[in-house]
């Protein structure tokens, strides 16, 4: 037994929050010059704070599947796939001749974090804001309560609605040990206009309602300001959530983990968006944990953690045995490599799949089209200089290690027969840019 349960204080509650599409370097607690996250900053100061954390992919479904299964993408299998079980394109193609737009999710045989905690007596609940987390994609398994409503619109579900539903659920379970998962979607495109936040970051000379009148430089400035304002708006709702938990007497007894599923390109490398590559802007994520009863915090850790480590961290802090078949680790990151994967469909990107490995200062990217990359993140944090030809031996070493590890991973269980995604989910995915 570990943590609070070992000292007779009762089992801690758990709250896991994912900030969808949120880069670590856009949170002020990670050094951003704009004060985007005053409430999250306050929480981070009470937490075990991980300076360097990474996702396992650069889009929502595989990253959250890693969180809930404790496995890398190659093992849990949730990813775009040309023969995937979820057929999206019937509602998305509209006769444009695109490849069939398909994805796999986790197998029905996978055991999720919510299932483990539910079997141990925890009440489990979730409130989600993005379409890839709707029930059809199977990440709801193990939750007694799963609120995936209000996601049909182009902006997903707004933060205040997520917070309101979460607090309402907490009022009904405050006398029981609980696990609550929340997904805040606001930082994902298309951005809403929160003028009170946007005007903190962009001059009044730039209009908010006529992007066609802007120069390319002004348009990029506005896009960055809108992104920051969405994070600020989301942070305000999380502040209300924390205040509500204090009022309910739950803040001190709850382990609170804050992370993101992936980041976003905002003009870097000449690109915007996510889900097609593994640059730092889309793979480096925030990650901090406020322990229950203030145990072990505040501290700062320099070790590299990943989103799949949340599974064993929570299980261990609940005083339970960590399943043997997961790849995440609670403590010693040397026990597993730090890697990420993305497999865009040919209809969405011609640049091929990517798998990457972080090791020391280096990051090696294996490209399905053969255009491999090697970067020194200490001297080149923006990944501008490919060292593949300058350091061929180091590149071969990391390529071998990455390939051998991926090949050694247990493969996902066979997928079910193809099934049609409901029209509401398909329309939400199209409106949110997932149809290319």
Taking 70 as the pLDDT cut, the residues of the chain under it are 1-8, 88-101, 153-154, 333, 415-418, 432-436
pTM over 0.85: yes
Q: Does the CA dihedral 312-317-323-324 come out positive or negative?
A: positive
SS3 306: strand
- Per-residue pLDDT tens for 81-114? 887 887 765 554 443 444 456 888 898 889 999 9
DSSP per-residue string spanning 149-182: -S--STT-S-HHHHHHHHHHHHHHHTTS-EEEEE
Q: What is the CATH number of domain 10-431?
A: 3.40.720.10
CB 86 within 8 A of CB 419: yes
Distance (Å, whole) CA 314 – CA 12: 10
Question: How many angstroms separate the most distant Cα atoms in the chain?
Answer: 64
The DSSP annotation for 240-259 comes to: HHHHHHHHTT-STTEEEEEE
In this structure, what DSSP letter does residue 333 have? G
**Count of beta carbons in the 10 Å neighbourhood of residue 428:** 23
The reply to whether omega before 190 is within 30° of 0 (cis) is yes
pLDDT score for 46: 96
* 348 touches 366 (CB < 8 A): no
**pLDDT, tens only, 402-423:** 999 999 999 998 765 667 777 7
Task: Dig out the tokens for 215 from the structure.
Answer: 């120069």
Complete edge-to-edge strand list for the sheet that includes strand 145-147: 145-147, 123-127, 178-184, 13-19, 254-259, 287-290, 48-50, 299-301
Close Cβ partners of 108 (under 8 Å, ≥ 6 residues apart):
138, 141, 413, 416
Contacts of residue 324, Cβ cutoff 8 Å, sequence gap at least 6 = none
Adjacent-strand bridge partners of 427 = none
Task: Count Cα neighbours of 244 within 13 Å in the Cβ-side half-sphere.
Answer: 18
**Closest of 159, 163, 110, 131 to residue 59, by C-alpha:** 131
């Amino acid at each position: 037994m570990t943590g609070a349960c070992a000292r007779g204080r009762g089992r801690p509650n758990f709250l896991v929050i994912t900030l969808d599409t949120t880069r670590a370097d856009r949170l002020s607690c990670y050094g951003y010059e704009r004060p985007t996250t005053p409430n999250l900053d306050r929480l981070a100061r009470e937490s075990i704070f991980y300076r360097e954390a990474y996702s396992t992919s650069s889009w929502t479904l595989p990253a959250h599947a890693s969180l809930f299964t404790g496995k890398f993408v190659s093992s849990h299998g949730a990813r775009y796939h040309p023969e995937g079980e979820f057929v999206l394109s019937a509602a998305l193609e509209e006769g444009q001749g695109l490849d069939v737009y398909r994805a796999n999710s986790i197998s029905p045989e996978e055991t999720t974090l919510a299932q483990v905690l539910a079997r141990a007596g925890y009440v489990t609940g979730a409130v989600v804001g993005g379409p890839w987390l709707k029930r059809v994609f199977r990440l709801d398994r193990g939750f007694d309560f799963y609120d995936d409503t209000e996601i049909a619109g182009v902006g997903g579900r707004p933060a205040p609605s997520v917070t309101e539903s979460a607090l309402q659920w907490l009022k009904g379970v405050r006398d029981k040990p609980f696990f609550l998962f929340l997904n805040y979607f606001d930082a994902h495109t298309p951005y809403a206009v929160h003028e009170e936040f946007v005007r903190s970051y962009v001059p009044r000379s730039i209009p908010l309602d006529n992007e066609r009148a802007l120069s390319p430089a002004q348009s990029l400035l506005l896009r960055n300001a809108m992104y920051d304002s969405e994070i600020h708006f989301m942070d305000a709702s999380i502040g209300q959530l924390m205040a509500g938990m204090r009022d309910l007497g739950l803040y001190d007894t709850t382990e609170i983990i804050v992370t993101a599923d992936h980041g976003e390109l905002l003009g870097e490398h000449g690109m915007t968006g996510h889900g097609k590559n593994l640059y730092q802007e889309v793979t480096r994520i925030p990650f901090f944990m406020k322990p229950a009863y203030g145990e072990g915090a505040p501290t700062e850790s320099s070790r590299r953690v990943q989103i799949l480590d949340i599974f064993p961290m929570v299980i261990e802090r609940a005083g339970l045995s960590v399943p043997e078949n997961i790849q995440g680790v609670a403590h010693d990151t040397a026990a597993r490599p730090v890697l990420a994967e993305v497999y865009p469909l040919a209809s969405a990107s011609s640049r091929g799949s990517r798998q990457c490995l972080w090791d020391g200062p280096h990051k090696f990217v294996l490209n399905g089209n053969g255009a491999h990359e090697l970067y020194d993140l200490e001297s080149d944090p923006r990944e501008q200089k490919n060292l593949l030809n300058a350091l061929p031996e180091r590149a071969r070493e990391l390529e071998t290690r990455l390939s051998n590890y991926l090949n050694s991973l247990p493969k996902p269980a066979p997928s079910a027969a193809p099934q049609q995604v409901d029209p509401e989910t398909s329309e939400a995915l199209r409106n949110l840019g997932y149809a290319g």
